[in-house]
Chain A
């Protein structure tokens, strides 16, 4: 009963998504968006008409004004600084706009240009001091805050009456202050335009990337040749200009200069930026986050004002939120990778029928024996990690090595060896096509092809991205084994889409169907995923009917058949279920059957642990990887099976001294060649009664000698 509940819980609750979502960059934007929705819903419940169109238009007008300032602040924070002088600049540029309009009586377009240029110059002072003279941003902008504010106070003394007495009558000015299109305020439209440009600027244009790079690591950015000082200075100038735009619209809306204009604006703006998820550490931020932060802050301040909360309390709430947001920001940034690492691994319920027991002399075809004890060894200590082995019609032996090479051994004694081709990633499964191209699956890289004149070419390294996956699964992470159909299509397995090749034990711990089978068509150069949700799919072999492939699922301990052609096209059938070990590569045998390597054997303790996901999750967190309970891949065997999935023969090395691990085997002219991914040798075994002329891919392509 408990087991049934457990099974259902793990079948229908996608544990693995939490880690995948958290590791996405957009979570840091998604969380402020959720906060925004909560705030909006909360206030609309308390205050009637809070989200009515009128109220929203009013909010949007204020939001856009403040929003410009937040954009400037965001830019400065992303580049790694801070701008405390925005409030004073806001006041000064507000004054500048009204002075130009009311005292100098300039036309509105000239007023706008002069105000923005004036704002940019105010910001440029900060930029020069911080960017070129390398003063601290905090102290510099604190000083300019005081200076600008004092200047504003002095100017205010002289001109406030003149400005207050003026009533400019200008259609454009009124449109800026109170007009709109279809109920959308003019300022919001301009903000939208600037925000869209800002988003493109930050994510798609070179200067935007430079800004992010400088904020992420100033030294690295400098070393990469980015003009650090100039970029920083320009960011402050831009901050000033954006502040001026906000102030311009503020001036158009209210038309006054008072002593409290822009007072405390820096706190509001800073809160908006941090709350939106723009990290104070620099290098992380976006326009969307600035917008979301602005909206949250304005909804809160407006909501509190509507609820007749005192101004001081209002400010205190904002400061409190800023404190909380800054704390979360710094803690999250520090622990992000640790938290993700803890929740990413998510074992699932993996039930298997009771372990069948091959024992010494138990009478079945599976009975243990010592027939692999006498294999002769090729390349002992000279080759490392030959996962797969293959031979051509000239009896040359090819094998991968963990140094990223394809090694070729020469007949007849296979003593002499050379590097046939260097690819760079770990070669796994191999197959020859009709034209003697050697196709190789490379862990971490994809499917590669080595032409007969030893040229290395990439066949494919990506497939179609699946809609249901949070992780981008279009890149190939662990292409494992392949085979080629009569019409030249290549079916290959990708063992897991959640982990890298060296992390295969973690995938075994999860025991989820993380793998897939992919088809690459050289004729059209297209790659499509054909099967998903497989438990570490591994060996692949086109069956003799030419219409289906046999594939092994390592953690599933089974061999299945997938029909890619013919009347059963698209169907998957079980061929061998509940194997006592973990199946790996599959290949043809000369007598019309198939070879299958069992890379390791199941153990009762692991079978039990596979039924207890919570146990495995805690083990993953508390026990170091070297001490984890692993699938036992120190002992393996080779079996021969027929089309119906019956085991015909078994080859064991019980002591495990001579050939401890077998991931692949290839029959060639009466011998069986053995590869193992943790081995430093290739095994060669004389087969009794095997066809002495059998060369797998000559036979496959009908090129019988």
Chain B
């Protein structure tokens, strides 16, 4: 009773849960322009995912999977009838792909042709990341039961909490849910016996034990995390596809405005995080976006942002790579290490970027 009254009071006064404070980029997340200065390897307009099997870099570009060389040369590996929303090279030489978010299929290798379309009695809807567990099983994240992968902003604005993480054994016909009712699961990564999950709308990284127990690894991020992959030297690369702003947090608490906005306004002009911004004057503008004396401040509230965080083996941030508000390498959704480089997929401008790992380590020590 008292708790309910307190919540009501908080809501009226904008305190507690209803507060719209956003953590600042601080400590290991201190902004820099490293990501903005990254080398552009290739322009890939329709790319959704990128991964490496240790020998080659694979990019899911539209309906095809291409192998991308360091000089930007493309070689088609496979082509499908639907858009590839996630991919994962397997240890046995095959590639697991997610097609249009509704089907997970293995292409090549000994298990070629295996496919799954549902788990726990519910069909897949927005599969956006696949990882391979040490025992050979696949772990996939299914972002939302209501909106497909392209319409993630709808899920956020609808305060979606229908994400789940599913384990697919090669032999089983149906998957097993590891976690459900997640507020947009976007990224999985095996870490020992546990599975790391990034839960975007809760701005956190979870670790799920095989018995289903959840542990919060990283909390209160100033960004919406996307995929997470293991780094070669131990630890992980966590990418973030957008950053939080107080205005969006405020809009998320304004139900009537949100409903009307979703009904009356085109999604690209919503007050919502985007993968890229600044293209149209119809986009909402915030106070600090005002170009003064010809300069757009990099610290303005980000409508789109580029961020990659290097996590330690314990899941704590060690250092981070930024592309700030005045930059364009925004909407980072995937990372992969290959041949001494860190490859990144910036979905905002549709670019594959790369940075020499040795430089990054030096940067981290500095």
Closest Cβ neighbor of B284 among chain A residues:
A605
B254 at interface by CB-CB < 8 Å: yes
Please indicate the chain B residues that have their CB under 8 angstroms from the CB of A624 in the complex: 246
Q: Do A605 and B301 form a contact, CB below 8 Å, given A618-B254, A630-B286?
A: no
B260 at interface by CB-CB < 8 Å: yes
- 12 A–B contacts, CB within 8 A, in A order: A505-B287, A601-B282, A605-B269, A608-B257, A625-B287, A626-B286, A626-B288, A627-B246, A627-B247, A634-B289, A661-B291, A678-B292
B92 at interface by CB-CB < 8 Å: no
Contact status A603-B256, CB under 8 Å:
no
Contact status B285-A634, CB under 8 Å:
yes
How many Å from the CB of B299 to the closest CB on chain A? Answer: 9
Interface string of A600-626 (1 = CB under 8 A from B): 110111101100100100110111111
Contact status B269-A604, CB under 8 Å:
yes
How many Å from the CB of B141 to the closest CB on chain A? Answer: 30
User: In the complex, A221 Cα to B285 Cα: how many Å?
Assistant: 47
B265 at interface by CB-CB < 8 Å: yes
* Residue from B245, B282, B292, B294 within 8 A of A603 (CB atoms): B282
- Chain A interfacial residues counted at CB < 8 A: 37
User: In the complex, A604 Cα to B261 Cα: how many Å?
Assistant: 9
Interface string of B276-307 (1 = CB under 8 A from A): 00000111111111111110000011000000
From B254, B264, B293, name the one whose CB has the most chain A CB atoms within 10 angstroms. Answer: B293
A384 at interface by CB-CB < 8 Å: yes
User: In the complex, A349 Cα to B184 Cα: how many Å?
Assistant: 36
Please indicate the chain A residues that have their CB under 8 angstroms from the CB of B285 in the complex: 603, 629-634
Interface string of A363-406 (1 = CB under 8 A from B): 00000000000000000000010000000000000000000000
Contact status B301-A632, CB under 8 Å:
no
* Residue from A608, A623, A633, A680 within 8 A of B246 (CB atoms): A623
* Residue from B20, B245, B271, B293 within 8 A of A605 (CB atoms): B271
Contact status A633-B270, CB under 8 Å:
no
B4 at interface by CB-CB < 8 Å: no
Please indicate the chain A residues that have their CB under 8 angstroms from the CB of B265 in the complex: 604-605, 608
* Residue from A600, A622, A627, A679 within 8 A of B287 (CB atoms): A627
User: In the complex, A606 Cα to B265 Cα: how many Å?
Assistant: 11
Q: Do A604 and B287 form a contact, CB below 8 Å, given A384-B293, A615-B257, A627-B246?
A: no
Interface string of A663-701 (1 = CB under 8 A from B): 000000000000000111100000000000000000000
Please indicate the chain A residues that have their CB under 8 angstroms from the CB of B122 in the complex: none
Please indicate the chain B residues that have their CB under 8 angstroms from the CB of A622 in the complex: 14, 20, 250
Which residues of A in the span 27-76 have a Cβ within 8 Å of any Cβ on B?
none
Please indicate the chain B residues that have their CB under 8 angstroms from the CB of A621 in the complex: 14
Interface string of B213-225 (1 = CB under 8 A from A): 0000000000000
Contact status A627-B301, CB under 8 Å:
yes
How many Å from the CB of A419 to the closest CB on chain B? Answer: 19
Contact status B260-A608, CB under 8 Å:
yes
Please indicate the chain B residues that have their CB under 8 angstroms from the CB of A680 in the complex: 293-294
A612-B256, A621-B14, A623-B250 are known; give 8 further A-B pairs, CB within 8 A.
A601-B282, A603-B281, A605-B261, A623-B20, A626-B300, A631-B285, A632-B281, A633-B290
A583 at interface by CB-CB < 8 Å: no
B266 at interface by CB-CB < 8 Å: yes
Please indicate the chain A residues that have their CB under 8 angstroms from the CB of B294 in the complex: 660, 679-681
Contact status B281-A615, CB under 8 Å:
no
How many Å from the CB of A341 to the closest CB on chain B? Answer: 15
